[in-house]
Structure 1
Amino acid sequence: MGIFLKIVSIFITYLIYWVSKKSYGRWKLVVLSPILISPIVIILLLVFSHTSYNDYYNGAKWLSYLLGPATVAFAVPMHKHFKLLKRHLFEIIASITVGSAVAIVSSFLYAVWMHLGISLTNSLVPRSITTPVAMDISKTIGGVPTLTAVFVIITGITGTIIGPTLIRLLKIEKSTAKGLMLGMSAHGAGTSKAFEFGELEGTFASLAMITAAVITIILAFTIFPALRSELMI
């Protein structure tokens, strides 16, 4: 029965993702995005079928392990456009460093303003990077990894909604700017959106996402502890 449930969990998860992806590809509506639809449908199925999350996760967790290889796969377009990335190295490092610092500081200040507890604050701070790295940072600094994953998803969805609108309003035309903005603000979801604009946009978004993860790891163990010791009681 356990093996059967694991197989069903993986199959159902993949089926829901596949249907939502096809729907999004046809109508291009944000509300049909797999990152939004998949969790909602799975939660409803678990509730109505009276299946515990632990039972479901014991099977579907193998899909979660693919997050790492999926992130590494972004290196393919980066390698293809390596010379272009090297040409814009300073702009990339400078903009992503500032973006990562702003993400950490703004998240922390918001948590202080809302009087969130230490655990919630630690879970919220790494929300602006890709899920597997964010969860690892959250666990290390005393947060709740699963809660961090939720914050990452919310950030990604928000970024994919607001990002394209800002690009139109600000009349941003450079592939570099589009990609870096979407990759920094919405990580994996933003990178996927960037590839809809073009391969160059997606490549810069991939680099932004990976660079932001590295920089955030550094800042999370330097700036964040200092902020926490000074502003949290």
Structure 2
Amino acid sequence: MIVGMTLFGFSLTLLAYVLAKALYKKIRIPFLLPVLTATASIMILLTVFNVSYETYYLGAQWFDHLLGPAVVALALPLYRQLPLVKKYLKTILVSVSIGAVIGVSTGLLLAGRLGVTEELQLSIVPKSVTAPVAMDVAVSLGGVPALAAVFVAVAGIGGSVISSYVFQLAHIHHPLARGIGLGCASHAIGTAKALEYGEQEGAISSIAMTISAIVVSIIAPFLVFLLY
């Protein structure tokens, strides 16, 4: 029984992503980003067939275990683009730091204006950093880690979807700008999107994602104290 449920969750996730990827290759529009369409499809199927998340996760958890190696694999394009990173290191550090401050501040201020609960406000603060870091930051601030993970997913998917339109409207074409924007605002999901533009964008995005996580971990308590 457990083996069957494990195979179900694993197979459903893999099939949903493969089909979503195939669709994205044929109809290449941002709103058909595989991570978005695959996630939406799985949610609909689980709801329609009344399958609990716990049952599904028995198999899907194996993809979580692959997240670590996938992030480590980003070191390869980063290594290949090391001269570019060294050349613009100061620009990257300053830009990501400013982006981190803006990301935390805008999320906190917007949540406050909307009049949401304290836990929700504190959970939204680390929305632009990778999930494990965001959950730890949320706990340290008094937020809810599960909610923080949801906001991280929304920021990652949302940023990746609208990035093409933002870059087009703002005439942003430089690999450095695209990489910093996606890595700082949309963490790992944004980095995957950055790699679609090119290896330079992917490398910059991966280092921006890392620096952003460090900066947010340091500044979040101070900004919450000042703005909350």
Q: Shift in Å at residue 170 of structure 1?
A: 2.6
Q: SS of the counterpart of 2:17? A: helix
Task: Provide the residue aligned with 1:202 in structure 2.
Answer: 202
Aligned-partner residue type, residue 26 of structure 1? K
CA distance in 2, matches of 1:97, 1:213: 10
CA distance in 2, matches of 1:6, 1:196: 32
Task: Provide the residue aligned with 2:172 in structure 1.
Answer: 172
Q: Shift in Å at residue 212 of structure 1?
A: 0.8
Task: Give aligned pairs, total.
Answer: 228
- RMSD over aligned CA atoms reads 1.8
Task: Provide the residue aligned with 1:102 in structure 2.
Answer: 102
**Do the aligned residues in 2 keep the contact of 1:120 with 1:143 (CA within 8 Å)?**
yes
**Do the aligned residues in 2 keep the contact of 1:35 with 1:153 (CA within 8 Å)?**
no
Aligned-partner residue type, residue 66 of structure 1? L
Q: Shift in Å at residue 155 of structure 1?
A: 1.6
Aligned-partner residue type, residue 202 of structure 1? G
Structure 1: give runs of 5+ residues left out of the alignment.
Answer: none
From the superposition, tell whether residues 119 and 94 of structure 1 become closer, same or farther in structure 2 (CA, over 3 Å): same
Matches within 5 A, 1:50-69: 50-69=50-69
Aligned-partner residue type, residue 215 of structure 2? I
From the superposition, tell whether residues 75 and 52 of structure 1 become closer, same or farther in structure 2 (CA, over 3 Å): same
**Do the aligned residues in 2 keep the contact of 1:68 with 1:132 (CA within 8 Å)?**
no
CA distance in 1, matches of 2:159, 2:47: 29
Q: Shift in Å at residue 86 of structure 1?
A: 1.2
CA distance in 2, matches of 1:138, 1:58: 26
Moved more, 94-103 or 172-181: 172-181
From the superposition, tell whether residues 71 and 138 of structure 1 become closer, same or farther in structure 2 (CA, over 3 Å): farther
Task: Provide the residue aligned with 1:15 in structure 2.
Answer: 15
Q: SS of the counterpart of 1:129? A: coil
Q: SS of the counterpart of 2:155? A: helix
Task: Provide the residue aligned with 1:218 in structure 2.
Answer: 218
Matches within 5 A, 1:44-193: 44-193=44-193
**Do the aligned residues in 2 keep the contact of 1:67 with 1:132 (CA within 8 Å)?**
no
CA distance in 2, matches of 1:23, 1:15: 12
